[in-house]
C-alpha cells in the first residue's frame, strides 16, 4: 500500500529496462508516468587486441545463485563439439530467505559428473579490475538466468565487445538483436549449446562484438544517461 501510494504521488517513475516497464504497468502505474532510463557504464573506446586460439573462451559473471541456472550452462557446454573453456566468476549468494544453500557445491559436483573439471573454472568473487581482465580474455558471454530486473554484467560484457547468449530477461531484451549482437535463447541446454556453436566463427564474433559495443556506447554511456535524467527533471 505504501509503495502504491508513493507511486501515485510521484510525477515520474524511472525504470531501468523494458522488463521493469512491464512490471510497473502491472503494478498499476499509469503509462505516461513511466520513463525507461537504464543504468550506465563507462565504455572504453580503445579495443585491446585478443590473441586468437583454437579454444573458445566462454564467460559468465554474476552472483552464483539458483536463479542464474548455471546447471543449464554446464549441461550446454558438455554437448559442445568444439574446444572451449568456461570461466564462471562470482561468489555464492542466496537471493531470498527461502532459497536453499549449497548451490556452489551442487555445481562443482555436476562439473565433475559431466567430466568438465579441466574445461570449467570457478573463480569466486573478483574485483572490478579482475573482472575487466576476464572480459578482455573472453570470446563471448553466456547468461542463462531465470529472472533479472536489469542484469549489469550483460552491459559490462557488451561494453567489452562480447557477443551475448542470454535468456530473455532484464536488459538482454533491450540489447540482444538476434544474429547481430548475439542470441536470445530458450531455457534448455540444447538451445544454449547450439547458439554457442554458431559463434565459434571468429569473423562473426568480431562483427557482433563491434555492433554490441557501439549499441552499449550509444544507449548506456554515462553521459547519455545523465542527459536523460536532466531532461526528465527539467520537464517536470
Q: How far apart are CA 42 and CA 47, in angstroms?
A: 14
Architecture (CATH level 2) of domain 56-218: 3-Layer(aba) Sandwich (3.40)
- pTM recorded for the entire structure: 0.89
The answer to whether the beta carbons of residues 122 and 88 sit under 8 Å apart is yes
Q: Which of 197, 210, 117, 125 is nearest to 165 (CA)?
A: 197
Say which residues have a Cβ less than 8 Å from residue 206's Cβ, sequence separation at least 6.
none
Taking only the tens place, the pLDDT of each residue in 150-185 is: 999 999 999 999 999 999 999 999 999 999 999 999
Q: In this predicted structure, what is the pLDDT of residue 96?
A: 56
For all residues of the chain together, what is the average pLDDT? 91
Cβ pair 146, 169 in contact under 8 A: yes
pLDDT over 90 (residue 47): no
pLDDT tens digits, 24-44: 898 888 899 999 999 889 888
57 — pLDDT class (breaks 50, 70, 90): very high
Q: CATH 3.40.50.2000: which residues of the chain? A: 56-218
Q: What is the pLDDT of residue 49?
A: 65
- pLDDT level of residue 18 (50, 70, 90 thresholds): confident
pLDDT at 93 (0 to 100): 76
Closest among 158, 155, 160 to 132, alpha carbons compared: 160
Three-state secondary-structure class, residue 77: helix
Amino acid at each position: 500500500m505504501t509503495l502504491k501510494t508513493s507511486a501515485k504521488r510521484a510525477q515520474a517513475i524511472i525504470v531501468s529496462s523494458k522488463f521493469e516497464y512491464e512490471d510497473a504497468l502491472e503494478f498499476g502505474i499509469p503509462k505516461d508516468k513511466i520513463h525507461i532510463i537504464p543504468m550506465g557504464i563507462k565504455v572504453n573506446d580503445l579495443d585491446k587486441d585478443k590473441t586468437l586460439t583454437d579454444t573458445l573462451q566462454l564467460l559468465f559473471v554474476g552472483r552464483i545463485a539458483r536463479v542464474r541456472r548455471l546447471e543449464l550452462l554446464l549441461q550446454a557446454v558438455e554437448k559442445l563439439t568444439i574446444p572451449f573453456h568456461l570461466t564462471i566468476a562470482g561468489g555464492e549468494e542466496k537471493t531470498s530467505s527461502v532459497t536453499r544453500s549449497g548451490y556452489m557445491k551442487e555445481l562443482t559436483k555436476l562439473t565433475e559428473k559431466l567430466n568438465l573439471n579441466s574445461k570449467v573454472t570457478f573463480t569466486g568473487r573478483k574485483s572490478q579490475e579482475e573482472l575487466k581482465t576476464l572480459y578482455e580474455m573472453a570470446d563471448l558471454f553466456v547468461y542463462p538466468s531465470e529472472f533479472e530486473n536489469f542484469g549489469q554484467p550483460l552491459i559490462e560484457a557488451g561494453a567489452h565487445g562480447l557477443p551475448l547468449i542470454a535468456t530473455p530477461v532484464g536488459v538482454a531484451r533491450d540489447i540482444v538483436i538476434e544474429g547481430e549482437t548475439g542470441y536470445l535463447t530458450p531455457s534448455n541446454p540444447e538451445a544454449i549449446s547450439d547458439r554457442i556453436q554458431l559463434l565459434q566463427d571468429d569473423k562473426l564474433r568480431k562483427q557482433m562484438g563491434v555492433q554490441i559495443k557501439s549499441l552499449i556506447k550509444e544507449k548506456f554511456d554515462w553521459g547519455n544517461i545523465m542527459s536523460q535524467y536532466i531532461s526528465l527533471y527539467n520537464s517536470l
